[in-house]
């Protein structure tokens, strides 16, 4: 299948041209491409997927390995293939890798399944190793974009789908205000922790956050014979999923989509997710570890400052508590802010749209108002709802975007802007 129509060298810049560019090759993008190919069976859509790794699902797999996550949080019905029972069918010979309740798939099962999906839809060679550094709407040619790549090349496209994952890492203020030097691996965000490469025996580790990542890191560190203090700024919340499962379907989404006030929708999302949460089985493990005195659970606690002194961290909390530890990991998640997203700066300049507490107002097809840029993942939450970051959100988003992408469009012109 041809994905790049032609390339041409102008003024030292290599320009490639295609119809649709999908930025990112994570689960959101994989879900979109399978749905796009299924819908466009008679006339194959021209698209290219761009990701610095040059492969599918690299970030997902790396995070699951690095944090020692045994199985998914979401049910077996949520995966990148358009056939809802495809994962269950795939797992027929591996039932022990589906975990109750809701048959949540094991890490390896899900990974093998995704590889099969990639092969079945002939997507192995669809990811171009490239990082997009700018999306430039072309003034002279409406309905076209120039995507600037980090290596200096650029891509001319008619439609863009932004599926680059959640936004920048949340870095707490006390980390940002640190002045002195310290060894980078002794204080880092959870995405920089790779448990399999660490010797932690006898160490004391402070983990900040109340989401499931903080729980996995705590249990992983204890398994490596460290002692952990797990600190949340609120009380730990116990929830099977990120939000009530009613938000995965029409039960709550019907009312959400009928709500005309974007600020109300934003509030509904906040209330539904209500920050980070830990699954019941993770809470069981943490409570057991607390009984064994390998984990201390510190709730309603925040750090005021930390200081690196004589090879250890001195930690001062806002409630007056102070202690020492060997490492600090902040599992504070990622933020979502379209107004600061580096790839959306130019788009906003040409096609300004309302941004509600970081989330852009999109049309029902998840299209940026006024142009052919589509947004998936957390940034599409005002349309997709509280699960927009998750696999369920990827399915909802794909159905909406594909409907718009498979509408007939004007034939690609060979003209270069």
Ligand X SMILES: Cc1cc2nc3c(=O)[nH]c(=O)nc-3n(C[C@H](O)[C@H](O)[C@H](O)COP(=O)(O)OP(=O)(O)OC[C@H]3O[C@@H](n4cnc5c(N)ncnc54)[C@H](O)[C@@H]3O)c2cc1C
Ligand Y SMILES: NC(=O)c1ccc[n+]([C@@H]2O[C@H](COP(=O)([O-])OP(=O)(O)OC[C@H]3O[C@@H](n4cnc5c(N)ncnc54)[C@H](OP(=O)(O)O)[C@@H]3O)[C@@H](O)[C@H]2O)c1
Residues at the contact surface with ligand Y, assessed by CB under 6 A: 69, 72-73, 170, 172, 208-214, 216, 232-234, 242, 275-276, 331-333, 389-390
Does residue number 78 form part of the binding site for ligand X (CB under 6 A)?
Answer: yes
Candidates 54-62, 175-183, 194-202, 352-360; binding stretch for ligand X (CB under 6 A): 54-62
The answer to whether residues 160 and 147 touch, using CB atoms and an 8 Å cutoff, is yes
| Smallest distance, ligand X to C-beta of residue 157, A | 13
Sign of the CA dihedral running 332, 338, 344, 346: negative
Only one residue has tokens 């004589």, namely: 310
233, interface contact from ligand X, ligand Y, none, CB < 5-8 Å by kind? ligand Y
35 is an interface residue for ligand X by CB under 6 A = no
Which residues on adjacent β-strands are paired with residue 307? 314
Closest residue to ligand Y, judged by C-beta, is 211
**Phi, psi for residue 368 in degrees, rounded to 5:** -60, 135
Q: Quick one: which of 282, 201, 207 has its CA closest to 241?
A: 282
* Contact mark string toward ligand X, 334..373, x via CB under 6 A: ---------x------------------------------
Beta-bridged to residue 135, according to DSSP, are 147
Of 63, 141, 279, 314, the one binding ligand X (CB under 6 A) is 63
Q: Is the peptide bond before 195 cis (omega within 30 degrees of 0)?
A: no
Q: Could you tell me the smallest distance in angstroms from the CB atom of residue 335 to ligand X?
A: 13
Place of tokens 């795939």: 90
**Packing angle of the helix pair 107-120, 58-66 (nearest 10 deg):** 170
Using rule CB under 6 A, residue 277 touches ligand X: no
**Whole-angstrom distance, CA of residue 87 vs CA of residue 323:** 47
* Sheet strands (E) in 24-65: 47-51
Residue with the CB atom nearest ligand X in the bound state: 26
Piece of 64-72, 194-202, 316-324, 366-374 that binds ligand X (CB under 6 A): 64-72
- Considering only the stretches 46-54, 151-159, 197-205, 357-365, report the one whose residues sit in contact with ligand X under the rule CB under 6 A: 46-54
Q: How far is the CB of 314 from ligand X (least distance, A)?
A: 30
Q: Using CA atoms, how far apart are residues 124 and 389, in angstroms rounded to an integer?
A: 24
Q: Select from 370, 358, 362 the least CA-distant residue to 397.
A: 362
Q: Which does 163 bind (CB under 5 to 8 A by kind): ligand X, ligand Y, none?
A: ligand X
- Please give the Cα distance from 362 to 344 (Å, whole number): 13
Residue 59 binding: pick among ligand Y, ligand X, none (C-beta 5-8 Å cut-off by kind): ligand X
For ligand X, the binding residues (CB under 6 A) are: 23-29, 50-53, 58-60, 63, 67, 69, 72-74, 78, 131-132, 163-165, 213, 343, 377, 389-391
């Amino acid at each position: 299948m041809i994905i790049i129509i032609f390339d041409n060298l102008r003024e030292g810049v290599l320009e490639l041209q295609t119809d649709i560019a999908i930025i990112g090759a994570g689960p959101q993008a994989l879900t979109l491409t399978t749905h796009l190919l299924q819908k466009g069976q008679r006339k194959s859509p021209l698209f290219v997927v761009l990701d610095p790794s040059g492969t599918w699902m690299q970030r997902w797999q790396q995070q699951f390995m690095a944090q020692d996550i045994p199985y998914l949080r979401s049910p077996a019905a949520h995966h990148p293939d358009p056939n809802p029972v495809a994962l269950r069918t795939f797992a027929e010979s591996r039932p022990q890798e589906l975990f109750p309740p809701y048959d949540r798939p094991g890490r390896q099962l899900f990974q093998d399944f995704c590889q099969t999906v990639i092969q079945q839809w002939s997507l192995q060679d669809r990811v171009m190793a490239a990082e997009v550094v700018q999306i430039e709407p072309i003034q002279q040619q409406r309905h076209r974009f120039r995507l600037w790549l980090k290596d200096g090349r650029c891509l001319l496209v008619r439609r863009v789908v932004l599926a680059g994952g959640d936004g920048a890492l949340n870095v707490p203020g006390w980390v940002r205000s640190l002045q002195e030097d310290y060894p980078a691996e002794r204080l880092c965000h959870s995405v920089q922790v790779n448990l399999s490469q660490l010797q932690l025996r006898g160490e004391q580790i402070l983990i900040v956050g109340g989401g499931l990542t903080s729980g996995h890191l705590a249990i992983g560190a204890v398994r490596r014979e460290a002692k952990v203090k797990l600190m949340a700024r609120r009380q730990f919340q116990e929830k099977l999923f990120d939000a009530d499962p009613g938000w995965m379907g029409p039960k709550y989404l019907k009312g959400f989509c009928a709500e005309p006030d974007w600020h109300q929708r934003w509030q509904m999302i906040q209330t539904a997710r209500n920050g980070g949460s830990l699954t019941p089985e993770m809470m069981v493990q943490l409570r057991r570890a607390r009984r064994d005195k390998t984990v201390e659970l510190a709730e309603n606690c925040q750090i005021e400052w930390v200081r690196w002194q004589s090879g250890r961290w001195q930690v001062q909390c806002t409630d007056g508590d102070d202690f020492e530890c060997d490492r600090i990991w902040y599992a504070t998640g990622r933020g979502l802010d379209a107004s600061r997203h580096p790839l959306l700066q130019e788009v906003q300049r040409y096609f300004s749209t309302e941004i509600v507490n970081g989330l852009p107002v999109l049309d029902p097809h998840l299209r940026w108002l006024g142009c052919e840029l589509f947004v998936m993942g957390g940034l599409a939450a005002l349309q997709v709802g509280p699960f927009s970051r998750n696999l369920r959100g990827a399915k909802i988003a794909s159905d909406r975007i594909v409907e718009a992408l498979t509408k007939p469009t004007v034939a690609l012109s060979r003209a270069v802007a």
